[in-house]
Amino acid sequence: MSAVTHPAPLADVQPLTGSQVVVAALKDQGVEVIFGYPGGAVLPLYDALFQQTDIRHILVRHEQAAVHAAEGYARSTGRVGVVLVTSGPGATNTVTGLTDALMDSVPIVCLTGQVPTHMIGNDAFQEADTVGITRPCTKHNYLVKDPADLARVLHEAFHVARSGRPGPVVVDLPKNILMGKAPYLAKAAFAPRSYNPAREPDPRRVEEAVELIARAERPIFYVGGGVINAGTEACVRLTELVRATGHPITLTLMGLGAYPASDPQFIGMLGMHGTYEANMAMYDCDVMVCIGARFDDRVTGRLDGFSPRSRKIHVDIDPSSINKNIKVDVPIVGDAERTLTAMLAAWQRQSNRIDRARTAGWWRQIDEWRKKDSLRFRQNGNGIKPQYAIQRLHALTRERDVYVTTDVGQHQMWAAQHFPFDKPLRWLTSGGLGTMGYGFPAALGVQIAHPEATVLCISGDASWVMNMQEMSTAMQYRLPVKTFILNNSYMGMVRQWQDFFHGNRHAESYMDSLPDFVKLAEAFGAVGLRATKPDEVDGVIEAALATRKPVIADIVVDRAENVYPMIPGGAAHNEIKLSPEEDDGPVKGEEGGMVLV
């Protein structure tokens, strides 16, 4: 603090109300948009928001969607998404969204109303133990019981949400705290008391890692969403490092876009429905460089069969992500951008060059695997193949500034396989939690952040109806999100697993009594389109892109199509199954994999 005297800010002379402090802290944190839904306990805060114009409030139709929309906003901008809901049911409805954000490391600050402090614990109307309920599904949470803490807690909430491994933070605000007088503390005067994750990597470990990378004969970079979370600059460094080494790279579902998919060194997504070449390379590599990924079970397959002959380097900002599932040889705790910068510097310092002779055999092997063309599908019959629809969607939008969200299931995997991304922050999907109903509200959040962009929601008939009420939000704010429902009248992935593990018995996976999606769109005032034959797909996509209104395009697809390749539950990477050549029914799973999800 300088000794120069400034004119006392308003707050020092005339205390603000708690609500005004919240609004001031949000502005101080650079918040421009809040996704929320009002109710009794947060009326004072809504009143304060009503009397200002810097922060825009987007009224959703269900609190779960508020969190997903904030996730869409956060993940397409790299900023913190903000949610405001009331007490009781408002808060409990956010739980799925918060858990989703926790699993996928999305920075969210969720403000929840609470009954006045003197009524807490009395089973008051719309009372819920919000900090108790959200403790395991947030990175941290607060119940503000003293107005003097309010500003500090809000700044700390933003600090915790965005630093280290990002995640959701809940701040529970009793109504009397919002209405009482409270002092303001500027963001500039705030210093966190305890949570300060280390960002700089250990230089010796970096040196050791780079030596391993340079000497590798069968190397692979295995990169996840952590690099995207570290910022677009981290993705630039990653691309530089991977190109400097000449080594192959695979990306996780969350990492798609961190490295350009069109680059020849990219060998596709890995994991349960990843490419043959990526999974085989993971199995056979001698040096694995994992950056910002967490050895998730969808990636590793059976742990004791995971990449048995490799030395493993793991870069992560979160020490608890290291050695959690897989024991690694070179652990590096640090921010991805700083670590990649340090690795690049070490690479140059060691005068390493692309050693084509050393890795020639490895690239030959990878090219052999690539020839399997593991994402292939056969056009048989007159139906629309879902993969074809996604390929056309990509082809007809590639000149545009495009963002894609998905729901969860077969369509999600086909989108990940057939819609390539060359830039980060363009691909938004619920990876860790697998939340059906994520895609549409997330797309609304993306469109709010990028009003001029083309925002596509690739969804399924079962997923989309889980948050379809949000079409009202899309209409209210004129958000021209284009939803493409790959409609197979099934919970397709459930059906695929029932075929695989449960003798084709389709228990409850048939979606009976689906709405007419065209009429449904029209009922909201949006545009409804439908394609039932392959030659109608392009026309529907072009019509959808041509309108400024929200669109539901009902793409009626082949109901029997399965997602391949597939590493069945309980199998290792080299046990990956490819699409059957002939129509001899789906590949069957083994008993041991049934217990896994």
Task: Give catalytic residues, as residue numbers.
Answer: 63, 125-126, 175, 493
Residue owning tokens 């990028």: 450
Measured from the CB of residue 115, what is the shortest distance to another protein in angstroms? Answer: 17
Residue 389 interacts with another protein (CB under 8 A): yes or no: no
Measured from the CB of residue 316, what is the shortest distance to another protein in angstroms? Answer: 10
Per-residue 3-state assignment (H helix, E strand, C coil) for 245-283: HCCCEEECCCCCCCCCCCCCCEEEECCCCCCHHHHHHHH
Cβ proximity to another protein, 156 vs 461, nearer residue: 156
Chosen residue from 6, 193, 356, 548 binding another protein by CB under 8 A: 193
Residue 595 interacts with another protein (CB under 8 A): yes or no: no
Measured from the CB of residue 296, what is the shortest distance to another protein in angstroms? Answer: 15
Residue 358 interacts with another protein (CB under 8 A): yes or no: no
Chosen residue from 51, 195, 422, 516 binding another protein by CB under 8 A: 195
Residue 468 is classified by DSSP as G
Chosen residue from 116, 319, 434, 586 binding another protein by CB under 8 A: 319
Q: Taking the CA atoms of the chain, what radius of gyration do you get in angstroms?
A: 25
Chosen residue from 56, 135, 349, 478 binding another protein by CB under 8 A: 135
Torsions phi, psi for 334 (to 5 deg): 175, 165
Residue owning tokens 């079962």: 462
Candidate ranges 263-271, 320-328, 432-440, 451-459; the one touching another protein (CB under 8 A): 320-328
Of residues 278, 213, 275, 282, the one with CA closest to residue 247: 213
Residue 98 interacts with another protein (CB under 8 A): yes or no: no
First to last CA, the chain: 55
Q: What is the dihedral of CA 253, 254, 258, 262, to 10 degrees?
A: 20
Residue 398 interacts with another protein (CB under 8 A): yes or no: no
Of residues 166, 554, 136, the one with CA closest to residue 157: 166
Length of the chain: 597
Candidate ranges 36-44, 192-200, 262-270, 288-296; the one touching another protein (CB under 8 A): 192-200
Q: Rounded to an integer, what is the distance from CA 348 to the centroid of its chain?
A: 33
Of residues 12, 69, 153, the one with CA closest to residue 470: 69
Cβ proximity to another protein, 320 vs 547, nearer residue: 320
Residue 56 interacts with another protein (CB under 8 A): yes or no: no
Cβ proximity to another protein, 156 vs 499, nearer residue: 156
Cβ proximity to another protein, 9 vs 132, nearer residue: 132
Rounded CA gap, 591 and 57, in Å? 51
Cβ proximity to another protein, 16 vs 322, nearer residue: 322
Measured from the CB of residue 120, what is the shortest distance to another protein in angstroms? Answer: 11
Measured from the CB of residue 247, what is the shortest distance to another protein in angstroms? Answer: 27
Candidate ranges 22-30, 188-196, 359-367, 524-532; the one touching another protein (CB under 8 A): 188-196
Q: Are β-strands 482-487 and 108-114 bridged in parallel, bridged antiparallel, or unpaired?
A: unpaired
Beta bridge partners of 510: 490
Measured from the CB of residue 319, what is the shortest distance to another protein in angstroms? Answer: 4
Cβ proximity to another protein, 327 vs 588, nearer residue: 327
Residue 95 interacts with another protein (CB under 8 A): yes or no: no
Measured from the CB of residue 168, what is the shortest distance to another protein in angstroms? Answer: 13
Residue 118 interacts with another protein (CB under 8 A): yes or no: no
Residue 140 interacts with another protein (CB under 8 A): yes or no: yes
Of residues 134, 128, 104, 106, the one with CA closest to residue 35: 106
Residue 202 interacts with another protein (CB under 8 A): yes or no: no
Chosen residue from 133, 143, 270, 544 binding another protein by CB under 8 A: 143
Residue 160 interacts with another protein (CB under 8 A): yes or no: yes
Of 259-318, binders to another protein (CB under 8 A) are 318
Residue 322 interacts with another protein (CB under 8 A): yes or no: yes
Cβ proximity to another protein, 132 vs 525, nearer residue: 132
Structure tokens at 90: 């408002």
Of 220-239, binders to another protein (CB under 8 A) are none
Chosen residue from 30, 121, 132, 361 binding another protein by CB under 8 A: 132
Q: CA–CA distance from 319 to each of 138, 151, 198, 199, 512 (Å)?
A: 18, 29, 10, 11, 47
Chosen residue from 52, 122, 323, 382 binding another protein by CB under 8 A: 323
Measured from the CB of residue 199, what is the shortest distance to another protein in angstroms? Answer: 15
Count residues contacting another protein (CB under 8 A)?
A: 20
Cβ proximity to another protein, 131 vs 366, nearer residue: 131
Residue 441 interacts with another protein (CB under 8 A): yes or no: no
Residue 40 is classified by DSSP as G
Q: Within 13 Å and on the Cβ side, how many CA atoms surround 355? A: 14
Q: Are β-strands 427-428 and 330-333 bridged in parallel, bridged antiparallel, or unpaired?
A: unpaired
Output the DSSP codes for 502-561: STT--TT-B-TT---HHHHHHHHTSEEEEE-SHHHHHHHHHHHHH-SS-EEEEEEB-TT-
User: Which of helix, strand or coil describes residue 291?
Assistant: strand
Measured from the CB of residue 194, what is the shortest distance to another protein in angstroms? Answer: 5
Cβ proximity to another protein, 193 vs 309, nearer residue: 193
Measured from the CB of residue 164, what is the shortest distance to another protein in angstroms? Answer: 7
Of residues 321, 307, 270, 313, the one with CA closest to residue 290: 313
CB 539 within 8 A of CB 531: yes
Cβ proximity to another protein, 194 vs 513, nearer residue: 194
Candidate ranges 321-329, 445-453, 531-539, 586-594; the one touching another protein (CB under 8 A): 321-329
Chosen residue from 9, 30, 121, 136 binding another protein by CB under 8 A: 136
Q: How many CB atoms lie within 10 A of CB 293?
A: 26
Beta-carbon contacts of residue 49 (< 8 Å; ≥ 6 apart): 23, 34, 55, 57, 84
Q: Rounded to an integer, what is the distance from CA 134 to the centroid of its chain?
A: 20
With b for 16 or more beta-carbon neighbours within 10 A and e for fewer, the 37-58 pattern comes to bbbebbbbbbebbeeeeebeeb
Binding site for another protein (CB under 8 A): 131-132, 135-136, 139-140, 143, 156, 160, 164, 193-195, 318-320, 322-324, 327
